[in-house]
Amino acid sequence: MPIVVVLVLIVLGSVLFHFLSPWWWTPIASNWDYIDNTIIITFWITGVVFAAVVLFMAYCVFRFRHREGSRAAYEPENRRLEWWLTIVTGVGVTAMLVPGLFVWSRFVNVPSDATVVEVVGQQWQWSFRLPGKDGKLGTSDTRDVTAENPLGVIAKDPNGQDDVVVEAADLHLPVGKPVKMLLRSIDVLHDFYVPEFRAKMDMIPGSVTYFWFTPTKTGTFQVLCAELCGQGHPMMHGIVMVDTQEDYVAWLDQQQTFAQLSAPQQTGSAEQAPGNATVSALKVAAKLETVGSR
């Protein structure tokens, strides 16, 4: 009999925990409250099913537990009941899937007025690039990455000269404007994730991925890497500051363009000799040191 009590307590405890515990999502700061709503729908449907199945089981144990001389019924199948349950399940599943797909189509279709920001991940820091006055980002290639050109902007592309480059520093965004994040990596997989924005996407070396959102609140938000990227992964933080339009413009004016950054030294640095494992390990340690100290 303890099992009956425990099954009931599991349902009650889980429901109470859900509603009363202090652990819940952080307040949203983007337009993706559609996603939050879909999660709420899913919580309700799945919560009801969980409670129903476990409580039904508890009742069965209570009612049909073995007693002296009791005997089970013999009922191999019940076609009607089985079909009925299948249909109800199908309806429940549809009730979650349809809103989900509807919101997904919004998520993947970027509004035409969205501005573009490029995020570049590397072990273990975030850099950013914004289009200059021409409104276009210059093309880039991992093969062009050097110490002076950390994002691998292709120097010959005229569109890239006025691009604003923010290396390993905070990104600022204006509030209320849709923004398309173009995501790129120069070494391993990373994932640009700000919990308050609800959106995230992996970054893949050799590809450009994207997501879009509209920041709806000003403030400072932490960027987390959400795809395992080596031993510095948990330290790969960044900052996004959502500003009012004036603050944003003020910040933007202080940033340097690709042309300005690459002016002093146009010649590439001397390539280091290909390191053996020990040299590489030392570099990893040095890299982690700098990430840890920020």
Partner 1 sequence: MVDVTPADAVPPAEVAEMELYHPHSWWTKYVFSQDAKVIAIQYSGTATAIGLVALVLSWLMRLQLGFPGTFDFITPEAYYQFITMHGMIMVIYLLTALFLGGFGNYLIPLMVGARDMVFPYVNMLSYWIYLLAVLVLVSSFFAPGGPTGAGWTLYPPQAIMTGTPGGQEWGIILMLVSLILFIIGFTMGGLNYVVTVLQARTRGMTMMRLPLTVWGIFTATVMALLAFPALFVACVMMLLDRALGTSFFMPAVVEMGEQLQHNGGSPILFQHLFWFFGHPEVYIVALPAFGIVSDLISTHARKNIFGYRMMVWAIVGIGALSFVVWAHHMYVSGMHPYFGFFFATTTLIIAIPTAIKVYNWVLTLWRGDIHLTIPMLFAMAFIVTFVNGGLTGLFLGNVVVDVPLSDTMFVVAHFHMVMGVAPILVIFGAIYHWYPKVTGRMLNETLGRFHFWVTFLGAYLIFFPMHYIGLMGVPRRYAEMTDVTVMTESAHHLNSFISIMAFIVGFAQIVFLFNLIWSIRHGREAGGNPWRATTLEWQTPQTPPAHGNFGKELPIVYRWAYDYSVPGAKEDFIPQNMPGTFGPSREPA
Of 122, 125, 127, 140, the residue at the interface with partner 1 (CB under 8 A) is: 122
Instruction: Choose the binding region for partner 1 from 89-97, 159-167, 242-250, 254-262 (rule: CB under 8 A).
Output: 89-97
- Residue 201, interface with partner 1 (CB under 8 A)? yes
Find where tokens 């072990």 sit: 123
Return the number of the residue (178 or 232) whose C-beta is nearest partner 1: 232
Q: Return d(Cα 100, Cα 97) in angstroms, integer.
A: 5
- Closest approach of Cβ 21 to partner 1, in Å? 6
Paired strand residues for 154: none
Q: How many CB atoms lie within 10 A of CB 162?
A: 18
- Residue 171, interface with partner 1 (CB under 8 A)? no
- Residue 5, interface with partner 1 (CB under 8 A)? no
Type and span of the H or E element at 74: none
Of 15, 86, 135, 158, the residue at the interface with partner 1 (CB under 8 A) is: 86
SS3 209: strand
Instruction: Choose the binding region for partner 1 from 36-44, 126-134, 165-173, 242-250 (rule: CB under 8 A).
Output: 36-44
Nearest Cα to Cα of residue 233 among 278, 287, 170: 287
C-alpha distance from residue 53 to each of 44, 57, 69, 223 (Å): 14, 6, 28, 40
- Closest approach of Cβ 252 to partner 1, in Å? 25
- Closest approach of Cβ 113 to partner 1, in Å? 20
Return the number of the residue (52 or 250) whose C-beta is nearest partner 1: 52
Which is it for strands 179-185 and 209-213: parallel, antiparallel or unpaired?
A: antiparallel
C-alpha distance from residue 140 to each of 111, 118, 207 (Å): 24, 11, 11
Of 19, 20, 133, 206, the residue at the interface with partner 1 (CB under 8 A) is: 206
Name every residue whose Cβ is closer than 8 Å to that of residue 174 and which is 6 or more positions away in sequence: 215, 242, 243, 244, 245, 248
CA atoms within 13 A on the CB side of 165: 18
Name every residue whose Cβ is closer than 8 Å to that of residue 234 and which is 6 or more positions away in sequence: none
- Closest approach of Cβ 255 to partner 1, in Å? 23
Instruction: Choose the binding region for partner 1 from 78-86, 158-166, 246-254, 256-264 (rule: CB under 8 A).
Output: 78-86
Instruction: Choose the binding region for partner 1 from 41-49, 111-119, 126-134, 167-175 (rule: CB under 8 A).
Output: 41-49
Of 24, 80, 246, 289, the residue at the interface with partner 1 (CB under 8 A) is: 24
Binding mask 101-120 for partner 1 (x = CB under 8 A): x-xxx-xx------------
Peptide bond into 126 cis (omega under 30): no
- Residue 168, interface with partner 1 (CB under 8 A)? no
- Residue 10, interface with partner 1 (CB under 8 A)? yes
Q: Return d(Cα 128, Cα 145) in angstroms, integer.
A: 14
Within residues 227-266, the interface with partner 1 by CB under 8 A covers 227-235, 237
Of 5, 16, 49, 263, the residue at the interface with partner 1 (CB under 8 A) is: 49
Tell me if 175 sits within 8 A of 215, measured CB to CB.
Answer: yes
Q: Return d(Cα 292, Cα 288) in angstroms, integer.
A: 6
Instruction: Choose the binding region for partner 1 from 111-119, 165-173, 193-201, 245-253 (rule: CB under 8 A).
Output: 193-201
Return the number of the residue (63 or 133) whose C-beta is nearest partner 1: 63
Tell me if 172 sits within 8 A of 241, measured CB to CB.
Answer: yes
